[in-house]
Amino acid sequence: MNGSPMDQATLVGYAFGYVVTVVAVFVLCLPLIFGLVLLMLLAGAVRLILLLATALTVGLIRYFRSPAGSPRRPRHGSHLITH
């Protein structure tokens, strides 16, 4: 022995054991990871649906508030009277 208390086979065995442990923990956590990913996708879909519903609602409100034949109101302070 060269002053090392362990030989190469023991070190390789320990390294293999650590790698197997890491893989096993990852495999055991896969259902949790899949669940979180599905929840994030669901939250994104709900947010997209709410965005589309809001855009549709705002568009409908603007459409029905100003009929096509009526003159539009001036915007951005142009209706103020000058002194």
Query: Does residue 58 lie in a domain region?
Result: yes
In a domain, 11, yes or no: no
In a domain, 42, yes or no: yes
**Residues spanned by the domain of 50:** 30-66
Per-residue pLDDT at 13 exceeds 80: yes
pTM over 0.75: no
Q: What is the mean pLDDT of residues 16-25?
A: 96
Q: How many CB atoms lie within 10 A of CB 34?
A: 10
Reduced to 3 DSSP states, what percent helix, strand and coil does the chain have, rounded to the nearest 5?
70, 0, 30
pLDDT at 60 over 70: yes
User: Which pair of tokens denotes residue 16?
Assistant: 């293999």
| Angstrom distance (rounded) from CA 74 to CA 14 | 78
- Residue 18: predicted pLDDT: 97
- Per the structure block, which two tokens stand in for 61? 């409100």
Query: Looking at the predicted structure, is the pLDDT value of residue 52 above 60?
Result: yes
Q: Are 79 and 73 in contact (CB under 8 A)?
A: yes
